[in-house]
Structure 1
């Protein structure tokens, strides 16, 4: 049974911010720490800080020769069954690190050329350079270290969907950043489903197994072998072969010979990276730009059949059938939050409904974290004035046009910490030019940028083919923004 079904959430995976786990088996997905390497939003930043703090603590025990403490730190990484990610037979079970594996892992770390030279900096490096660490181990290690952040995210999502939370349940071990230790305690308002603790994982930060396993292959094939080939040709090295062609002789280096001379072992990858750190830096820059798992791949893991055309048509029908008016405002808010989660993923993530700001004096209907890596929302996050770290959304289920009050309400949500970019969602606009002038006035007076989306805009995006939807979204957002400039 899927979590959404157990909780009575009438929303499918595309409209959820988290992975809709199966409560009775594991999903073939893994938390990918690569997603935290270049954080774009607070959750990723907190996870990155915890991961690096833990990793540095372990490396410091190696440098100090305190192997007992290092083993104790690693041995705490055990059985994170709450996420239901990975692959198990039957009921989910973690693949944590026991004392024997902790000892072996610490020895591998201590003997690695990458650790000795300082090249080893995070868990992604471990996956590439340290033996006996694969996608499942990396995911489980990550889960343990960021458990505190996952608990807070899970609480937020339960509150977002108006689901009650249990109180004062044990959490398992939590990493204490800055103190190089684990603690065990209880956490207020922790989810318990079917008698078991559950941790939700943002779908933005998961990968399928092959995607993680291909990191080493990608590094070896496209960086290591290309570099070795170029160097062999430049220096006329021992792998260079002279072949005859119709135009004469030609020097060549074959990748099969490189592979035979330097097999793609983790030790060889580590040694190469130590000798040529600039190549490894290039590789890390490439994988940090790697996008999130595709929505289609994610829903394929669901036990239900997903037909995108039928799903989009169903959303359009829900929008059309929902009456205007205050009595349907709450239903409209929840529907729009799902529509935005679906259409704006992976740019806008981690929705929070009716977020309190200014000590509760003002409320935002929905607030999204801006995690965009490229495109319109990434540009606005980097804009020195807008600084759109969060995108605030106001939902107006009105039959009449928006007035100055609604524009002023959104302006009151802006501040330098969250940013000055907001979205007002409404059913329709009877006088678009008048509303545009109101939004232009706010932008000209440097109060902030307000984009207005209507049912017709969502219909346009939902009618677009899945491949064309992202370009359509970018085009629509940029067009609405350009209108403010005139």
Structure 2
């Protein structure tokens, strides 16, 4: 069973996250990012600007319905728009979320009645609802935006699927917002399918994604309310009191919004993975070299944490990092590092073809001397799901008897276990810094050395 399987892993597609325009969906959990409508508003793209206008107009139509006493229709649209499982954005561990309840939806709609400026002009940035209503945060903002943009996202997903050979199937979409009719409809279309749940999947452009929306309550409270309103004179009120204050002081909120608009150049999308800077990598390497082997002063945990950061950054984008310290279903074994094998480099394609390596397992051992049990432990991980290639990351070269053990595993079972040492890490960081070659070439070098030592 693969760790954190993605759609491309299931379909055996070799593209990396770096190579595609969208966030590659996980099959059994959400992508830990959110669609931020502000990124569409600030975008130089006329298309993105138009889509932001569509979101705003769709949301503001709810105010029109409320003023026309069509409360039931407004509630239905708002509640249905509050969860978008097809996009799979957020923190859910199973890609299943819940819509907002009628009470919260009613509180949002009442803004169009209780705040005169919103009643007259509506929202430019509907994310402001986070500053007025409790229980509304980044996940709701993202889902509402995704639902109002679902028609575009369907077309975008089909186009991206065709470009990258992602299989699509006929599906029925039940909550598709019709911008002309201003209501949700059902429609048959063709989209990728989650093979585990048989539910449709939508792709979302990476350029729209952030960990936290540019406009959010925490930023408003810490960056504006405390400094500009309280000015250090009083103890901060509770969140509920602040939300009530905001509803009665619309101009205060708008001053914060205008400040966020003025600093729009600082609002950038967040990547799904961010490499640590070269200077940080060198510092991590220095700390690794200075660590004593063994478990003294928790040095084994410090070793693992540092190796994780260094490896994930140095090997990107050729290897997408999957997970650290991944416990098996039985809970008895822990694989230290898991990488997706995207076959984005000749060596990676070779080990995929020769050893069926769909994910690369790295076992981290902060020991002075690797023993047979360490090799056997890694060997047990090399199952059909992962393939028959693994890496031991340790401090020193393997003793001759242990190296012979790895040769025997290749001879008897065609399994390949190579070792990376402190000296190899130094070479990887040197290559990482020079940018003239790729750090993954160090692993390729160790692999070729191993194969030359194997009997023909």
Could you say which residue in structure 1 is the equivalent of 2:161?
158
Could you say which residue in structure 2 is the equivalent of 1:377?
none
Could you say which residue in structure 2 is the equivalent of 1:20?
24
Could you say which residue in structure 2 is the equivalent of 1:223?
224
Asked if the contact 1:148–1:175 (Cα under 8 Å) also holds between the matched residues in 2, the reply is: yes
What is the CA distance between 1:318 and its match in structure 2? 6.8
Structure 2 SS opposite 1:196: coil
Could you say which residue in structure 2 is the equivalent of 1:185?
187
Unpaired runs of 5+ in structure 2?
277-307, 321-342, 348-432, 440-456
Asked if the contact 1:147–1:174 (Cα under 8 Å) also holds between the matched residues in 2, the reply is: yes
Could you say which residue in structure 2 is the equivalent of 1:11?
15
State the alpha-carbon separation in 2 of the partners of residues 20 and 283 from structure 1.
Answer: 29
What is the CA distance between 1:226 and its match in structure 2? 3.7
TM-score calculated relative to the size of structure 2: 0.55
State the alpha-carbon separation in 1 of the partners of residues 41 and 85 from structure 2.
Answer: 25
Could you say which residue in structure 1 is the equivalent of 2:330?
none
Give deviations 1:40-76, integer Å, cap 9, x for gaps.
2255234313211211211112233332332232233
TM-score calculated relative to the size of structure 1: 0.52
What is the CA distance between 1:145 and its match in structure 2? 1.2
- Residues 206 and 462 of structure 1: is their aligned pair in 2 closer, same or farther, counting only changes over 3 Å? farther
Could you say which residue in structure 1 is the equivalent of 2:269?
292
State the alpha-carbon separation in 2 of the partners of residues 263 and 50 from structure 1.
Answer: 31
Give deviations 1:296-334, integer Å, cap 9, x for gaps.
3599xxxx986232336789x97899xxxxxxxxxxxxx
What is the CA distance between 1:18 and its match in structure 2? 1.4
What is the CA distance between 1:284 and its match in structure 2? 3.2
Matches for 1:118-197 after TM superposition, within 5 Å: 118=121, 120-167=123-170, 169-187=171-189, 189-194=190-195, 195-197=198-200
State the alpha-carbon separation in 1 of the partners of residues 155 and 216 from structure 2.
Answer: 30
State the alpha-carbon separation in 2 of the partners of residues 127 and 165 from structure 1.
Answer: 36
Give deviations 1:148-201, integer Å, cap 9, x for gaps.
11111111111111234223x2122222224322222212x3222413211111
Structure 2 SS opposite 1:184: strand
State the alpha-carbon separation in 2 of the partners of residues 290 and 117 from structure 1.
Answer: 29
Unpaired runs of 5+ in structure 1?
230-253, 322-458, 466-486
State the alpha-carbon separation in 1 of the partners of residues 99 and 312 from structure 2.
Answer: 37
- Residues 123 and 462 of structure 1: is their aligned pair in 2 closer, same or farther, counting only changes over 3 Å? farther
What is the CA distance between 1:118 and its match in structure 2? 3.6
Task: Count how many residue pairs are aligned between Structure 1 and Structure 2.
Answer: 296
State the alpha-carbon separation in 2 of the partners of residues 23 and 272 from structure 1.
Answer: 44
Asked if the contact 1:52–1:121 (Cα under 8 Å) also holds between the matched residues in 2, the reply is: yes
What is the CA distance between 1:10 and its match in structure 2? 1.1
Asked if the contact 2:157–2:202 (Cα under 8 Å) also holds between the matched residues in 1, the reply is: yes
**2:45 aligned with 1:41:** yes
Could you say which residue in structure 2 is the equivalent of 1:379?
none
Could you say which residue in structure 1 is the equivalent of 2:286?
none
State the alpha-carbon separation in 2 of the partners of residues 72 and 94 from structure 1.
Answer: 17
- Residues 56 and 276 of structure 1: is their aligned pair in 2 closer, same or farther, counting only changes over 3 Å? closer
Structure 2 SS opposite 1:170: strand
Asked if the contact 2:34–2:142 (Cα under 8 Å) also holds between the matched residues in 1, the reply is: yes
State the alpha-carbon separation in 2 of the partners of residues 214 and 276 from structure 1.
Answer: 11
What is the CA distance between 1:94 and its match in structure 2? 2.3
**2:61 aligned with 1:54:** no
- Residues 258 and 160 of structure 1: is their aligned pair in 2 closer, same or farther, counting only changes over 3 Å? same
What is the CA distance between 1:291 and its match in structure 2? 0.5
Structure 2 SS opposite 1:174: strand
Could you say which residue in structure 2 is the equivalent of 1:85?
89
Could you say which residue in structure 2 is the equivalent of 1:274?
251
State the alpha-carbon separation in 1 of the partners of residues 120 and 203 from structure 2.
Answer: 37
Asked if the contact 1:150–1:200 (Cα under 8 Å) also holds between the matched residues in 2, the reply is: yes
- From 230, 255, 260, the equivalent of 1:283 is 260
State the alpha-carbon separation in 2 of the partners of residues 266 and 11 from structure 1.
Answer: 45
What is the CA distance between 1:130 and its match in structure 2? 2.6
